[in-house]
Structure 1
Amino acid sequence: MRMIITIDGPSGAGKSTVGFKLARILGYRYIDSGALYRIVALEAKKNGINEKEEEQLANLAKNLKVNFLNENGKIKVFNYNQDVSELIRSPEISMLASRISALKSVREEITAWQRRMGNNGDLVLEGRDAGTVVFPDAPIKFFLDATSEVRGKRRFNELKLKGLPVSLEQITQEIKKRDHNDRTRCYAPLKPAPDAVIIDSSNLTVEEVIARMMTFIHEKKLGGKIKWKKMK
């Protein structure tokens, strides 16, 4: 029987890092659903497709050929065998992806793609509606959160290491704006699933977050009783 583990949460909460490492520990496949929307945004920009041209954007989403590969312990994202790992992480593509992800037909195509992948075996899926829409019956669900200030600082440090000219204040404001977009969109808004374990990673290391997840997974798989719903 397949095992699906979902990790939802806002931008900068650490979902990708935690999800990828958790998948490696468990020997599961890994999907970053946010990267899928970013790839659609990247392809739209490359092909001059306006963000209001929903049918064309949905067609881009339908025809994704995405692979997530482990390269020396780091996530590499490929679309049609092209490495787009860095291209999809710019602030411009991030904001465009947030707006495109609000389109119902685009989300439906991305959801269908993820479900097809889930039919192929054990999976760690991270995103914003993984546990509420894509796999609402997943046996193990997490919602990873952190304050907007902490998430802004993380993103700022990440972009600074890449040599990009960024402002901490600007990055934090963009994260708050994306939070608003994600939480208030009409279709599949960002929110914890009713049965998700909520983890605030503001003051936790990646290793501490994973340790708490593994404790829950161990108890869940053994049928043990869950003693908490929110971890601090």
Structure 2
Amino acid sequence: MSITIDGPAGAGKSTIAKIIAKVKKLTYIDTGAMYRAVTLKFIQNFVDTKDAQQIEALLADIRIELIGDDIYLNGTNVTEEIRSPEVNQLVSEVAKLSPVRKKMVEFQRTIAAAQNVVMDGRDIGTFVLPDAAYKFFLTASIDERARRRFEEQRRKGFTTSLEDVKSEISNRDRIDTERELAPLIQAEDAILIDTTGLSIEKVVDKILSYIQ
């Protein structure tokens, strides 16, 4: 069984997906973390996002592993590092690159073919797993999403302003919805849930009510 949870940055996808996976005893796959790991690799290797040869060489050398709630990049645990402001600023630019998306989508489909999953991202229900049993699309106002992301970064020790976070999220929304390959869009058969003002528990209950 596959459950997809899509939506823009800060909508609560990862938090909700982890809980759903635990309750339903499914494997949670954080596709956003995969793209963040690739982005971190770009940053570490000073890769130009417009240089096809550099991108091809990096993708040939990259190895991503999901172990529990941690993500490993070529054997190194980068779970915290991929949430840095530097990665936040570049991840949508890297994720829209066709070679990157094709490699990650292939990886994601391979995982889903082998086990029951809850997978969250931006194009899971529309592109990665279009035949998933259950599809959800989470959204929230940009002010709410910015506040959540700001609080998350502050808890992790990153220094930034709420206005900068809001601007960053707005920019990511634009890039994600306008990219040529698999843009962020609600699948026609996905259930829309606006999480603005809702507690995590209420959102989880809504999703579980549809699944059960």
Smaller-chain TM-score bracket: over 0.9
SS at match of 2:70: strand
TM-superposed deviation, 1:45? 1.1
TM-score normalised to structure 1 length = 0.87
Is the Cα–Cα contact under 8 Å of residues 84 and 158 in structure 2 kept in the other structure?
Answer: no
Please state how far the C-alpha of 1:61 moved relative to its aligned partner: 4.3
Alignment CA distance shift 1:123-1:56 (3 Å): farther
Letter in 1 for 2:168: E
Q: Which has the higher helix share?
A: 2
Change in Cα spacing, 1:79 to 1:204, as seen in structure 2 (3 Å) is: same
Q: TM-score, normalised by structure 2?
A: 0.94
Give 2:108's match in structure 1, choosing from 99, 114, 127: 114
Q: Tell me what 2:151 maps to.
A: 157
Q: How has the CA–CA distance of structure 1 residues 60 and 115 changed in structure 2, closer, same or farther, with 3 Å as cutoff?
A: farther
Per-residue displacement from partner, 1:172-228 (whole Å, max 9, x unpaired)? 11101110110111111100000000111111111111111110001xxxxxxxxxx
2:180 paired with 1:182: no
**Residue of structure 2 equivalent to 1:230:** none
Residue 79 of structure 1, aligned match among 68, 73, 79: 73
Structure 2: which amino acid aligns with 1:112?
E
Identical positions, percent? 40
Structure 1 segments (4+ residues) deviating >4 Å: 61-64
Distance 1:104 1:196 in 2: 25
Q: Any gaps of 5 or more consecutive residues in structure 2?
A: none
Aligned counterpart, 1:224? none
Which residue number corresponds to residue 5 of structure 2? 7
Alignment equivalent of 1:137, drawn from 128, 131, 142: 131
- The one of the two structures with greater contact order (alpha-carbon pairs below 8 A, sep at least 6) is 2
Deviation sequence 1:111-138 (CA, Å, 0-9, x none): 1000000111100110000000001111
Kindly indicate whether the alpha-carbon contact (under 8 Å) linking 2:85 and 2:158 is maintained by their aligned counterparts in 1: no
Query: Which position in structure 2 is the counterpart of 1:52?
Result: 50
Match for 1:201 among 195, 203, 207? 195
C-alpha distance in 2 between matches for 1:63 and 1:209: 39
CA contact 2:138–2:192 (8 Å) conserved in 1: yes
**What does residue 39 of structure 1 align with?**
37
- Report the number of matched residues: 212
Offset, 1:50:
1.1
Q: Is the 1:143–1:196 contact (alpha carbons within 8 Å) kept by the matching residues of 2?
A: yes
Q: In the alignment, what sits opposite 2:63?
A: 65
Deviates more, 1:89-98 or 1:34-43: 89-98
Gaps of 5+ in 1: 219-232
